């Protein structure tokens, strides 16, 4: 069976700071495990220093406290230690949660000891418990501890209320009116540090009867002697019991610390191995990335060299195209017209040129115009092409799209090898232009690839 322990005491202005630093663990507590202090947590009230929580609550209610006034009520609530641990000594978190839920709910009720300032769950001692400070503010706004703790019956009522509340989780109230007393921590350690002396004071033993005839008298005498000896060594045996219990607790604490240390060591080994594996993986990935970067840099260098070569080829092709076009343009218009034996008539300031009966060109102010297209004829090649169309020769189409191979063949026949060479160069013009377009498209595609690679 599990029992609840609820202890309350008054806290004056002089003892408030000492109580607060103990609750907040601002000073070292002899019976607390320093490694578990960070597991303590606030479960009610304000998450500020305990003394500040009390003074802030008094200030908010605009109360002026007397110098000797009780500023707070200290409450310590705990349950039998076996309630929190299993048979293997492992702390049961579910049991702790149940305990905290009920205790926080009861401490929040102002009818018990006033308004809750701060409540802290201490898990750094052998038995989990809650240490709380409440401000005894009455319903009418006065600071009065007597209202809550003015009579012994109110203490009993508080214990009964706690027993009823914890009964829902299988924890019961202690025996009413028992004579068990609470020892302060410093008094407890004074007891177990007491020097033990098992010597029996003979003077305190009862005197033997002058005549022990009957067995009853002998038994009575033995009982008196035994009682006297037990009375003398009772305190020493109690000290031994307390020492043994303390040693058992220390061993359990040490065992728990060693278990936690082993767990930390295992975690360290596992984490170190994980880090080493991750380091190897990142090193391998980094090596692959370096190789990829080097390969891409080589590809970029090759592409740049290829682009430079293509640019030079473009310049060469453009130069050849310019030369071929200039040679084609050098064919004289009048020479072509003479070769084709065109006739002309003068009509005012105009000259009309005919092939047979068909009007082909009109000359105005020394400028020659094509009658069919009504455009100026600037080069001999244009004139030759229009004459072929006017004569309806094969390959010459007035609507456009003239077969240039046929034109070049006619030029070779009419003007000889030199003019034919010019015509062939002009024939290459179309092919060169297509090559230039393809090269420019390839250059544009390579530039796009280089931009994509750099962005990666």
* Backbone torsion region of residue 45, taken as left when φ is above 0, otherwise alpha when ψ lies between -120 and 50, otherwise beta: left
Final residue in a domain of this structure, among 182, 202, 227: 182
Give the pLDDT confidence score for residue 206 in this predicted structure.
63
Write down the residue that tokens 């006033």 correspond to: 114
Tens digits of residue pLDDT in 264-298: 888 888 888 889 888 888 888 888 888 888 888 88
How many separate domains does the chain show?
2
In whole angstroms, give the CA distance from residue 54 to residue 63. Answer: 12
Whether 437 shows a pLDDT value over 90: the answer reads no
Q: What are phi and psi of 117, to 5 degrees?
A: -90, -50
Q: Is residue 187 part of a domain?
A: no
pLDDT in tens, 189-248: 555 555 555 555 555 556 666 655 577 776 777 777 777 777 777 777 777 777 777 777
Check residues 172 and 362 and name the one with the higher pLDDT. Answer: 362
Structural domain of residue 39, as residue ranges?
2-182
Beta bridge partners of 10: 73
291 CB contacts (<8 Å, ≥6 apart)? none
Domain presence at residue 83: yes
Determine, yes or no, domain membership for 402.
yes
Return the CATH number at 141.
3.30.930.30
- 196 belongs to a structural domain: no
> Tell me: the pLDDT tens digits for 127-177?
899 999 999 999 888 888 888 887 778 888 888 888 888 888 888 876 565
Higher per-residue confidence, 331 vs 311: 311
For the cut 70, the answer to whether the pLDDT of residue 452 exceeds it is yes
Does residue 316 form part of some domain? no
Examine residue 80 and state whether it is found in any structural domain, yes or no: yes
Query: Residue 391 falls within a domain, yes or no?
Result: yes
Using a 10 angstrom Cβ sphere, with 0-12 exposed, 13-18 middle and 19 or more buried, the burial of residue 142 is exposed
β-partners of residue 6 are: 77
φ, ψ for residue 164 (rounded to 5)? -65, -40
Instruction: Give the Cα separation of 57 and 114 in Å (integer).
Output: 11
CA–CA dist 85, 89 (Å, integer): 5
pLDDT given at position 426: 55
Average pLDDT over residues 353-365: 88
C-alpha to C-alpha distance for 437 and 443, rounded to whole angstroms: 10
84, part of any domain: yes
The helix/strand/coil state of 63 is coil
Q: Which residue has the tokens 């000259």?
A: 351
Please check whether residue 4 is in contact with residue 174, taking contact to mean a CB–CB distance below 8 angstroms: yes
- Of the pLDDT bands very low, low, confident and very high (cuts 50, 70, 90), residue 116 is very high
pLDDT-wise least confident of 217-221, 324-328, 329-333: 324-328
Query: Which residue, of 182, 210, 238, is where some domain finishes?
Result: 182
Of the residues 160, 182, 204, the one at which a domain ends: 182
Q: How far apart are CA 136 and CA 58, in angstroms?
A: 10
Kindly report, residue by residue over 38-69, the tens digit of the pLDDT: 889 998 998 899 999 999 998 888 888 887 88
């Amino acid at each position: 069976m599990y029992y609840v322990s609820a202890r309350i005491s008054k806290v004056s202005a002089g003892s408030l700071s000492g109580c607060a630093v103990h609750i907040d663990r601002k000073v070292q507590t002899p019976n607390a495990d320093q490694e578990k202090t960070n597991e303590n947590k606030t479960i009610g009230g304000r998450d500020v220093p305990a003394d500040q929580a009390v003074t802030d609550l008094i200030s908010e209610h605009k109360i002026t406290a007397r110098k000797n006034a009780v500023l707070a009520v200290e409450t310590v609530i705990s349950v039998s230690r076996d309630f929190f641990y299993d048979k293997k000594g492992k702390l049961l978190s579910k049991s702790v949660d149940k305990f905290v839920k009920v205790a926080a709910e009861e401490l929040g009720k102002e009818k018990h000891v006033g308004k809750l300032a701060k409540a802290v769950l201490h898990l750094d001692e052998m038995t989990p418990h809650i240490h709380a400070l409440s401000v005894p503010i009455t319903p009418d706004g006065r600071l009065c501890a007597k209202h809550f703790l003015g009579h012994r019956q109110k203490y009993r009522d508080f214990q009964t209320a706690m027993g009823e509340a914890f009964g829902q989780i299988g924890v019961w109230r202690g025996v009413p009116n028992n004579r068990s007393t609470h020892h302060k921590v410093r008094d407890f350690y004074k007891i177990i540090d007491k020097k033990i002396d098992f010597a029996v004071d003979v003077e305190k033993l009862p005197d033997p009867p002058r005549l022990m005839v009957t067995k009853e008298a002998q038994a009575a005498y033995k009982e008196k002697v035994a009682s006297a000896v037990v009375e003398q060594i009772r305190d020493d045996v109690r000290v031994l019991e307390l020492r043994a219990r303390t040693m058992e607790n220390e061993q359990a604490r040490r065992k728990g610390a060693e278990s936690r240390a082993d767990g930390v060591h295992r975690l360290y080994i596992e984490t170190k191995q994980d880090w080493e594996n991750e380091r190897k993986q990142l090193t391998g990935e980094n090596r692959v990335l370096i190789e990829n970067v080097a390969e891409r840099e080589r590809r970029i260098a090759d592409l740049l060299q290829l682009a430079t070569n293509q640019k030079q080829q473009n310049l060469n092709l453009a130069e050849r195209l310019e030369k071929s076009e200039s040679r084609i343009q050098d064919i004289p218009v009048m020479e072509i017209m003479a070769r084709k034996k065109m006739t002309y008539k003068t009509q005012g300031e105009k000259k009309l040129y005919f092939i047979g009966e068909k009007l082909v060109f009109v000359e105005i102010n020394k400028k020659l115009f094509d009658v069919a297209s009504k455009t100026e004829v600037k080069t001999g090649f244009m004139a030759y092409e229009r004459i072929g169309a006017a004569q309806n020769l094969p390959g010459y189409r007035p609507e456009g799209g003239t077969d240039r191979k046929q034109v070049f063949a006619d030029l070779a026949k009419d003007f000889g090898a030199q003019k034919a060479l010019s015509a062939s160069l002009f024939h290459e013009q179309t092919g060169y232009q297509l090559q230039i377009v393809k090269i420019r498209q390839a250059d544009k595609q390579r530039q796009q690839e280089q931009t994509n690679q750099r962005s990666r």
